[in-house]
Amino acid sequence: MPLVTGVDSSTQSCKVVVRDAETGALVRQGRAPHPDGTEVDPRAWWDALLAAVDAAGGLADVAAVSVAGQQHGMVCLDEAGEVVRPALLWNDTRSADAARDLVEEAGGDGTGRRFWAGATGSVPVASFTATKLRWLARHEPANADRVAAVCLPHDWLTWRLAGAPGLAALRTDRGDASGTGYWSPATGEYRLDLLERAFGRRLRVPAMLGPAEPAGVLDPEVLGGTGPTGVLLGPGTGDNAAAALGVGAGPGDVVVSIGTSGTVFAVADTPAADETGAVAGFADATGRYLPLVCTLNAARVLDAAASLLRVGLDELAELALAAPAGADGLVMVPYLEGERTPNRPLATGSVHGLTLHNATAGHLARAAVEGMLCALADGLDALIAQGARADRVVLVGGGARSAAVRRIAPQVFGCPVVVPPPGEYVADGAARQAAWIALGGAAPPEWPFAETREYAADPVPAVRARYAEARDRTLDRAGG
């Protein structure tokens, strides 16, 4: 049985799974942490990838490897292929002004938003690579002058696995390219005119691969000179497109991922172009589309609430579940890292409706879970407004391990929520892509998907109504 490897190089860590290409059975896995922060030297991702591969028993016996990665991050390379400066990540908001300018330069009164949604499927916000290029050109001209090529985290890691064989060998895929701001899912073409508009000149970008087109072969030297030969490299993709492959999202499924980011997405047959900017009109990893809403504040809201209350995550969940729905009027608006949807990069979090009665740890824990979920429920509404069907929500990501999130989610989302067993669904999706590469065929292999557990509850609309009252009443970052 051929084995395949899937990698998830995500914000907080690198996760590696090795699966049987034909049956999808998990054979072994490993992980390694990433550094904190919203700007990271890509070489730290490479070191983590090597450590996670090692922890997963190496690549000596695998037929193919695919890398999925956090989207949007700006990896700039010079003519020699060296990294010019640390990558700015998807959750780095310093390019908010650049995003605003790029939209305004394309026209006022909504013209600019319409232009970008029509040209690239999305209205750029600070997360998008194009805005980071504009920031670099404005704020670090010496670094900008050195840049010869720009690529995304998963493009760079795949290229390193191939032995970094020159800039001409950089490859990407539709799923991740659709988050750059200079590639159109609707036409399948780069918009290098928009890259030039952002950066001031054109740069080399990775060549586009089809969903099952290999990016090359693993260079045996990169694993210490004793690596295997003939291991195929998949095109890889963005982490959300990989998660869609990993959970086998079908018609009527909306996937909600609660990781560092909160994402709400569905696989679609036609491209989206939401000029409000709430829904990003991404592509998926199979040749279709992936309309997606992303928030900057998800699992870390729970981390922060747990740390504030000096409890662990399991105790936080117990506290939240013991408190009443709606937390007796206590609302947390969770914009701890600023926010992307809605586009409020300078916003901060806030707590509203505090009384002597609800000033308890349990109420605050409940408000944190509900606030984080309400922001995602707003995203679900936006996705439905773009034509998605939500028969059920498939909940994944580290935050889905919280019993409180699983039980409160159906009350807030107003539809059944199914939760697959805890797992690494992004890495699994990458492994499924690698299996497609290894086995060939018109579609990824049909792996049996894990039994899901369903959580149903009566919707509690009052929770969302109260959140909607509080949502826009926040302070901006001090000094921002």
Radius of gyration of the chain (CA): 21
Give 112 or 379: the residue with its C-beta nearer to ligand ADP: 379
Question: Residues 20-28: contacts with CB within 8 Å, 24+ apart?
Answer: 21/63, 21/64, 21/434, 21/435, 21/438, 21/439, 21/445, 22/435, 22/439, 22/445, 23/447, 23/448, 24/431, 24/432, 24/435, 24/445, 24/447, 24/448, 27/3, 28/56, 28/57
| Runs of H (alpha helix) within 190-325 | 192-199, 239-247, 299-309, 313-322
For ligand ADP, the binding residues (CB under 6 A) are 10-13, 259-260, 299-300, 302-303, 313, 397-399, 401-402
The listed partner (ligand 5SP, ligand ADP, none) that binds 72, CB under 5 to 8 Å by sort, is ligand 5SP
Min CB(284)–ligand 5SP separation in Å: 13
- Indicate which residue of 92, 239, 253, 274 is catalytic: 239
Active site residue 458: no
Token duo for residue 181 = 């701001």
Give 128 or 199: the residue with its C-beta nearer to ligand 5SP: 128
Q: Is 263 in the site for ligand 5SP (CB under 6 A)?
A: yes
Longest pairwise C-alpha distance within the chain? 67
SS3 state of residue 8: strand
Distances (CA, A) of 201 to 82, 140, 327, 405: 19, 15, 53, 46
Residue with tokens 């907080």: 12
Min CB(305)–ligand ADP separation in Å: 10
The listed partner (ligand 5SP, ligand ADP, none) that binds 24, CB under 5 to 8 Å by sort, is none
Min CB(402)–ligand ADP separation in Å: 3
Among residue numbers 153 through 192, which ones bind ligand 5SP (CB under 6 A)? Answer: 179
Give 164 or 299: the residue with its C-beta nearer to ligand 5SP: 299
Residue with tokens 């010869």: 148
Residue with tokens 């997963």: 56
- Rounded to 10 degrees, the C-alpha dihedral 8/14/18/24 comes to -30
Residue 70, annotated ligand binder? no
Q: Is 95 in the site for ligand 5SP (CB under 6 A)?
A: no
Q: Is 12 exposed, middle or buried (0-12, 13-18, 19+ CB in 10 A)?
A: middle
Q: Is 261 in the site for ligand 5SP (CB under 6 A)?
A: yes
Q: Is 343 in the site for ligand 5SP (CB under 6 A)?
A: no
Q: Is 341 in the site for ligand 5SP (CB under 6 A)?
A: no
The listed partner (ligand ADP, ligand 5SP, none) that binds 467, CB under 5 to 8 Å by sort, is none
Q: Is 294 in the site for ligand 5SP (CB under 6 A)?
A: yes
Min CB(197)–ligand ADP separation in Å: 31
Per-residue DSSP letter, 447: P
| Runs of H (alpha helix) within 229-312 | 239-247, 299-309
The listed partner (ligand ADP, ligand 5SP, none) that binds 179, CB under 5 to 8 Å by sort, is ligand 5SP
Binding residues for substrate are 71-72
Q: Give the active site residues.
A: 239
State the residues that interact with ligand 5SP by CB under 6 A: 10-11, 70-72, 90, 127, 179, 238-240, 259-261, 263, 294
